[in-house]
Structure 1
Amino acid sequence: MEENNLSHRPTRRGSSERARRRRMRDFNRLTALLLAAVILVLTLVNLLVPDREFSENENRMLTVFPKPSWSDISDGSYMSSLSSYMTDQFVGRDNWISFKLTLDKLLGKREANGVYLGKEDYLIGIPSEPDWEHVDRNLQAINAFAQSHSDLSIHMSIVPNAACVLSDFLPQNAPVRDQRADLAALQSKLDSSVAFIDVTEDLTAHASEGLYYRTDHHWTTLGAYYAFLSMADSLQISDPLLNYNKYTVSDSFSGTLASKSGCHAVQDSIEVFEPLGTDVQYYVIYSDTHEKSASLYQSAYLKEKDQYAVFLGGNHPMVTIRTTNNNNRSLLVIKDSYANSLIPFLVPYYEEIILVDPRYYYDSVESIISSELITDVLFLYNLDTFLGDTSLADVLVQ
């Protein structure tokens, strides 16, 4: 009988297991309470902190609280908008993004939101896939334009991205699109009357000198300068100026790639080059604001997020630069933002330069060609922009 009673007594091991389970239950309850408290606090803080309209770090507008409507609720779009709002307005969003990026880097990740985290703190945009339908449409329009303007000297230069020129700075074994092959494909489809200027090799020869910003997708002023030298002969610019005073106008530039990736480890410097050995004067006219300026630079933008807009005040539908030259050479540049930092190198060699950005210009360039007595045309784009452009053909239509 006594033996039977002993067999039902709890063992020390069983007591220890039950105690461990109680501790686990207590821990889980405490964790759940702490998590609920954190969520409650964050929710209350989110309700108390005013919404932000713009993110300086991401350089974009943030989602505002969506107004509900029956149609949006019924098709599910309202919940999607509400989710975007909660994500964008989450308190401490910038700090969370930086924390996640730091954690990803510690885990060996070398890409963030379409940006490679390269060597020596270079952020390098991953080239996008081309929109060949629009590329072919644009090339056909360029060829037709060239054939109908055989009296003009027409050139094209498509500039490769940092991923191509700065390939040594990419993360090891990072897959990247062959932009040299893309450039060759573009050139093969151009009419022979369009002189294609490939600056890739000349840029690559100076790759270690800082030709692209570490935090932005644009080339630096030095990169634009080497490209200008590469273009000069084809543009019939004899004896291009080689001597410049160089001024650093900012050492706090954090560009588009820093915004896109969330990586703000370094900041860039922006330089402007003042040519020596020329007495050519000029003034600039902006078509959209009707503003006239005696400078190619707008220093007010150095206080803004997009400091690259110091060059010509960023992008405008049309900009006219009139100089004191009297050589009867007028250049039409059909371009994207890459051209903005290269234009100062071209000014001493033309009587007039007109810049047209097809993304914002909605007329045909034919009226410009006839009214301004254009003699030369230069298509100047970054390769990524050109391969995704949907506007160029429209401005070439007669």
Structure 2
Amino acid sequence: MQKGSDQIENNFSKKGSVLNIASFLFVLLLGGVLSIVIPKENVSQVEQRALTPFPQYSFYALVEEKYTDSLDLYYADNFPFRENWVVLASSLRNKMGFRENDMMIYNAALSEVPVDTTKIDSVFVNEIAKPELVPVPAEKPGGIIIYNGRAFQRFQGSETIGLKYAEVINEYRAILPDCVTVYSLIIPGPNDFYLPEKFTTTFYSKEENSIDFITSNLDSSVVAVDAYSEIKAHQNEYLYFHTDHHWTVRGAYYAYRAFCKSAHLGSVDMGVYQLKVRRNYFGSLYNQTLDARLKANPDSVEYFRIPVETQAFRYIDPALDTMVKSSMIYERIKGPSYLTFLGGDHPLIHIKTTNTNNRRIFIFKDSFGNAFVPFLAMHYQDIFVADYRYFNKNVPDFIKRNKITDLLFIHNTFVVNSKFVITRERYLKRSSNRAPRLIPLDSVDLEYDSIPEN
């Protein structure tokens, strides 16, 4: 009798195992069929970003394991009903995390992979070389605070790193001739202006303290631009996005005014510019959190048309071998985007204006600098804009070759408190002195999208 019971139990166990295997295979098969049958989307409407396309096969990519990695990214972005799952995950995430009154903290980390700006939008055309951009440490550390309908990055300053950043600028000052004026402009984020001060010691550090410490360690011959005070005086205006980590063009304008005071330039009144607005913008911090309060409080991307004639080209590869026609303001980009300013981050941009004052500025910047640069077209004959992450040439040599009169370091507080910017900008002080091809200073044929080899 016992033997019969054991036999029946074994049969049930085998049937259960077969059923489990069959169910698992059915789910896999169904998922595979749905992945093939369901139409693919190019853009996630929920996350407001482009989805990973199906990778192109090549033997090299297969050997280097890049093809399989790309496949993983493709399937992660294109599994069935992905948008619904993302919404569900966002809803659950909104119920988690740390809360203090109206404050919500996410332990989100933004992407560390640099954007390949040649593929962002169809406005960038006829580029004949793809940038070989390498992954770099993010400007934006993990930790996002949601308070009063807007997002903030958690800031933690470091005096050790801040001191080294000041030392790098002092080193440039020491090796450059006196005819080159060196400026330092540190961009504050919105935390000091819009977060309750009682949470300072608990959730974030005051950016003003970090800025003051770095400034106090600059050589007296370095001109420190006090953008913080100028921005603080206008903090009731729309200076920072609610859903993105950047400042708005208005925040950049007041930093420009502070720079003009330090550089003894007459700043142009904001009313002189023609204001344009593109609404319903959801930026990087919304994309990371999908927070419902941010969704209910979309941004607008404002930009100014600068009343001066300019010609602009950008180098699209770190070797600075290829130039294409560029612009200070990209009005044809689809939808509202921070890429409106300079078209994003590039190794080097050269902007030539109709000014004939022989003032030429070289700018070391991160992405915050993109909204700032166009204002300088009113004052300089030539503007060279280098992104510290992608520019790879010897800066002192570049300054000498191009008769630069002003050198500006403009970075946000997160960047000046990162080891990467110190390593990069110290390296560029002594790296290869190979000179890139430059835009002819007398004339530029705007009928062409690239400059042929000389």
Identify whether the pair has TM-score above 0.5, normalized to the shorter chain: yes
Residue 296, structure 1, aligned to residue 328, structure 2:
yes
How many angstroms does 1:136 deviate by?
A: 4.9
- The separation in 1 between residues aligned to 2:51 and 2:197, in whole angstroms, is 31
Which runs of structure 2 are paired with 1:374-389 in the superposition (5 Å)? 374-388=404-418, 389=421
Query: Aligned AA for 1:177?
Result: S
2:356 to 326, 351, 355: 326
Counterpart of 1:393 in structure 2 is 426
How many angstroms does 1:204 deviate by?
A: 2.0
Aligned residue for 1:177, secondary structure, equals coil
- The separation in 2 between residues aligned to 1:81 and 1:291, in whole angstroms, is 28
Structure 1: gaps spanning 5 or more residues:
1-31, 68-79
Which protein is bigger by CA-based radius of gyration? Answer: 1
2:398 to 363, 368, 372: 368
- CA 1:164–1:60: 2 relative to 1, 3 Å: farther
Structure 2: gaps spanning 5 or more residues:
1-19, 58-68, 109-142, 317-321, 432-454
Residue 240, structure 1, aligned to residue 229, structure 2:
no
- CA 1:300–1:284: 2 relative to 1, 3 Å: same
- CA 1:172–1:42: 2 relative to 1, 3 Å: farther
Query: Aligned AA for 2:179?
Result: D
More divergent stretch after superposition (192-201 vs 153-162): 192-201
CA-to-partner distance for each residue in 1:211-254, whole Å, 9 max, x for gaps?
A: 11111111001111111112211011125334234433421322
2:366 to 326, 336, 341: 336
- CA 1:246–1:39: 2 relative to 1, 3 Å: farther
Q: Is the 8 A contact 2:248 2:301 kept in 1?
A: yes
How many angstroms does 1:380 deviate by?
A: 0.5
Q: Is the 8 A contact 2:238 2:251 kept in 1?
A: yes
Aligned residue for 2:410, secondary structure, equals strand
Counterpart of 2:256 in structure 1 is 228
Percent identical residues: 26
Counterpart of 1:70 in structure 2 is none
- The separation in 2 between residues aligned to 1:346 and 1:201, in whole angstroms, is 20
How many angstroms does 1:140 deviate by?
A: 2.7
- CA 1:242–1:300: 2 relative to 1, 3 Å: closer
Counterpart of 1:142 in structure 2 is 169
CA-to-partner distance for each residue in 1:117-136, whole Å, 9 max, x for gaps?
A: 220x2121222565955x55
- CA 1:111–1:170: 2 relative to 1, 3 Å: farther
TM-score (norm 2): 0.66
Which runs of structure 2 are paired with 1:98-137 in the superposition (5 Å)? 98-105=87-94, 109=99, 110-112=104-106, 113=108, 114-119=143-148, 121-127=149-155, 130=158, 132=160, 136-137=163-164
Q: Is the 8 A contact 1:199 1:227 kept in 2?
A: yes
Query: Aligned AA for 1:98?
Result: V
TM-score (norm 1): 0.74
1:265 to 280, 286, 296: 296
- The separation in 2 between residues aligned to 1:195 and 1:253, in whole angstroms, is 36
CA-to-partner distance for each residue in 1:302-356, whole Å, 9 max, x for gaps?
A: x16x811111111111111111112121111111111111112111111111111
Supply the RMSD in Å over aligned alpha carbons: 3.9
Query: Aligned AA for 1:142?
Result: I
How many angstroms does 1:377 deviate by?
A: 1.1
Q: Is the 8 A contact 1:232 1:240 kept in 2?
A: no
How many angstroms does 1:37 deviate by?
A: 12
